[in-house]
Amino acid sequence: MAKSYVKLGELASYINGYAFKPKDRGTDGLPIIRIQDLTGSSNDRGFYKGNYPSKIEINTGDVLISWSASLGVYIWNNGKALLNQHIFKVVFDKKEIDKDYFVYAVQFSLNKMKRLTHGATMKHVVKKDFENVLIPYPSLEEQRKIAYVLDKLKISIGKKTSELNKLDELIKARFVEMFGDAGQLNLNFKVSKLGEVADVKSSHRVFTKDFVNTGIPFYRGKEISLLAKGSPISETYFISKELYEKLLDEKTRPKLNDLLMPSICDKGQIWRVNTRAPFYYKDGRVLCISPKKEIFNSIYLQQYMKFKTKIEYRKLGTGSTFAEFKIFQLKNMQIIIPPLSLQNEYATFVQQVDKSKFENIVYLNKTLSSKILSQLGDAIRD
């Protein structure tokens, strides 16, 4: 029997939030919910006390969809609040659909929506394009069954993620045991500026017009962040082999065991180059640290930079919207240099723990994805 599909616009109405101005934000009244309040990246929630259109009020159980800068679908569970712009409140007023099923179907259609984004600086989905996205539309009974299965998978994801977090904590605890807190300079070891013991650099700039359909993989800050977390790259960009060879020189050649980090690095996203395959990374958004072999084990330095940047970022990062590192700031960062024998001992420990992490990551990235696709069907495939 042929599968049934439906456009998102045929299922519900999507109410955009209100464009609150900075002067509207106070300390009393109802919370103003922005995208960063949904993603957990905000520490400065604002409040509004005054009259407002009833349509922007949200309550526990409402489904919200962010459509600008960051695409995501959420169920709001924190009581009465007011919705800021760039977020839809979903009003299920057109067709019958299970809310939990709807959330899953939209969540796993986000990769399709990313290809519909517009804008040079702040990417966003046009409402018309959003409403035309197709999702599978089985019977209500089947929707509930699928949501139940995916709820079970969500619990499994939570358990695997918890295991990964515990393994990360183990790696950090061992670091502290051997070398002390990365946020403090342990004076029992030699202290130096990073730029004195490693080459800190970035590559030539590559522009969007230079992208091609196939060629040399091109990594931006976003791709480096995903690689650092062990997550699959959602979309790959390429430059031609000719451009790669033209730009490539000893200054910009990414080598095995180089450390790459996004210039906006508030979460310690440091990727250690572990492939001999050629690739390229972008100037201004990705910084490269090439440690001297006689001084560093690159695995030790990766972990040290990972732990340290979370702290140093707050001190060294510049910028009004997104604070970011500059090359000179990294070069001036003070670091400890333990004996190479201790670094090697720690690196061996990290590699052993990473084997367990890898098993969990493979399960999350492949096994669960295939189960999700089998439940939701071809409409949400890339």
Supply the DSSP symbol for 124. E
The Cβ of residue 54 has, within 10 Å, a number of other Cβ atoms equal to 5
What region does 174 belong to: left with phi over 0, alpha with psi -120 to 50, or beta? alpha
Asked if domains 5-137 and 190-337 share a fold, the reply is yes
Q: At how many degrees (to 10) do helices 368-376 and 99-107 cross? A: 120
In tens, the pLDDT along 215-247 reads 888 888 888 888 887 777 767 888 888 888 887
**DSSP character string of 285-303:** TEEEEEE-TTT--HHHHHH
In tens, the pLDDT along 87-104 reads 999 999 999 999 999 998
- With a cut of 70, say whether residue 366 has pLDDT above it: no
What region does 259 belong to: left with phi over 0, alpha with psi -120 to 50, or beta? beta
pLDDT at 382: 42
Residues near 340 by Cβ (< 8 Å), separated by ≥ 6? 294, 295, 296, 297
pLDDT at 124: 63
CA distance 297 to 302: 9
Going from N- to C-terminal start, the domains of the chain cover 5-137, 190-337
The pTM of this model reads: 0.67
In tens, the pLDDT along 243-285 reads 888 877 655 667 889 998 887 765 668 899 988 777 777 655 7
Burial class (CB in 10 A: 0-12, 13-18, 19+), 261: buried
The CA–CA distances, whole Å, from 111 to 99, 105, 235 equal 20, 12, 9
pLDDT at 320: 45
pLDDT at 249: 66
**Domain with residues 190-337, CATH architecture:** Alpha-Beta Complex (3.90)
The Cβ of residue 119 has, within 10 Å, a number of other Cβ atoms equal to 11
CATH number of 5-137: 3.90.220.20
CA distance 143 to 377: 12
